[in-house]
Chains A and B, each alone.
Chain A
């Protein structure tokens, strides 16, 4: 064997050994359980807390509003569309401040006229021209039961 290889081959072997040992310690434990990834990362993702709690959670304390909402066309809407994510509020009703938007801009995000919106799906009004005598939409419409008009 040439003298060069007598040095190089053991050196190569040492490199490979170091690599294999390092690799053994560097690979996370759950790696490769289901596929080429860290299986634990799925559990970590699943453990993220939620922010949007859904109608049922609100119904526990606000049965009047929930019933009202269910009574009219806005029944398809989730409370949190208008009031914002409710997880904090559900955990502590005093603290988690919720939004109560009833302005023309806000209702307009769904109801303003746009040819891209189909009238079969949603009725649209000109937010500037529609009954301009009152400032906000909720001055006339009850946001929970929209055809309950205040006059």
Chain B
């Protein structure tokens, strides 16, 4: 009787430790994948974790952000390459939506819908959302685009092979193939500026303060204040991209 029980516990012990080892093995195998799925939050709370806030109510559609972005970052001047652009939405009384962005808004806008047809109209500045669960960096086959420790999606133009998979994977259309470099190019949140303590060029030139950028880890910071005081939305929340570009006053029609 006694020995049997001992045997039994021993067997149990063996079984348990085998199970434990198995789980450990399984988790270590799946770990790289869970990292892909759950990498939503900045692990190191002491370092900055950048986000952007845009107040649609304040935007006057002057296009200076798009213009400054091109001049600051040497983006090709042709109207097919934008790191940042502005859209003019006009929702007509009959419910149809008209969106325009001539040359990304750099040359300014004119309202093309007759005033009496307009139900409402507004500007939506667009740029990289610097998603926390970036669908674009997820698909890069070689690790040439990545999320920096500060939460900024960057492209390594010396390593990019130009397969353009990330362009397909970005739901917001924020990436393009640089026609000269033949590598993918995108908003860096003016990484070269914020590292020097300056604000991104688009934020710098905005005449109405419609753009805010800041550290999401800094609970007293400008961006968190903005998020607290306004009801903000992100674009395409259904895709669960973990977007860190927050809009105040975002209309449901905006995609």
Contact = CB atoms under 8 A, between A and B. Distances in A.
Are A and B direct contacts in the complex by CB distance below 8 Å?
yes
Given A36-B143, A44-B158, A51-B72, A116 B90 contact: yes
A8 B65 CA distance: 62
Interface in A42-63: 42, 44-52, 54
**Which label, helix, strand, loop or mixed, suits the secondary structure of the A interface?**
loop
A85 interface: yes
Interface stretch (B11-19, B115-123, B161-169): B115-123
Contacts of B8: none
A102 interface: no
Interface string B195-209: 110100100110111
Interface of B: 57-58, 60-64, 68, 71-73, 88-90, 107-111, 115, 118, 121-123, 143-149, 154, 156-159, 188, 191-193, 195-196, 198, 201, 204-205, 207-209
Contacts, number: 119
B63 A109 contact: yes
A130 to B, nearest CB: 16
Contacts of B149: 34-35
A133 to B, nearest CB: 24
B121 A50 contact: no
Given A49-B192, A50-B72, A109-B63, A114 B146 contact: no
Given A51-B201, A54-B204, A85 B191 contact: no
Given A118-B57, A122-B60, A84 B143 contact: no
A142 interface: no
Contacts of A52: 68, 71-72, 193, 198, 201, 204-205
Contacts of A38: 143, 156, 158-159
Contacts of A85: 68, 71-72
A46 B72 contact: no
Interface string A17-32: 0000000000010010
* Tier of interface size on chain A: 35 or more
B192 A50 contact: yes
Contacts of A84: 71
B64 A81 contact: yes
A100 to B, nearest CB: 16
B203 to A, nearest CB: 10
11 contacts: A42-B191, A46-B196, A52-B193, A52-B198, A81-B64, A81-B205, A85-B71, A114-B111, A114-B121, A116-B109, A121-B57
Contacts of B209: 76
Interface in A93-112: 105, 108-110, 112
A116 B208 CA distance: 14
B207 A54 contact: no
B91 to A, nearest CB: 11
A65 interface: no
A110 B207 contact: yes
Nearest to B124: A116
A41 interface: yes
Contacts of B193: 50, 52
Contacts of B143: 31, 35-38
Interface string A108-128: 111010111110011000000
A14 interface: no
A78 interface: yes
A89 to B, nearest CB: 13
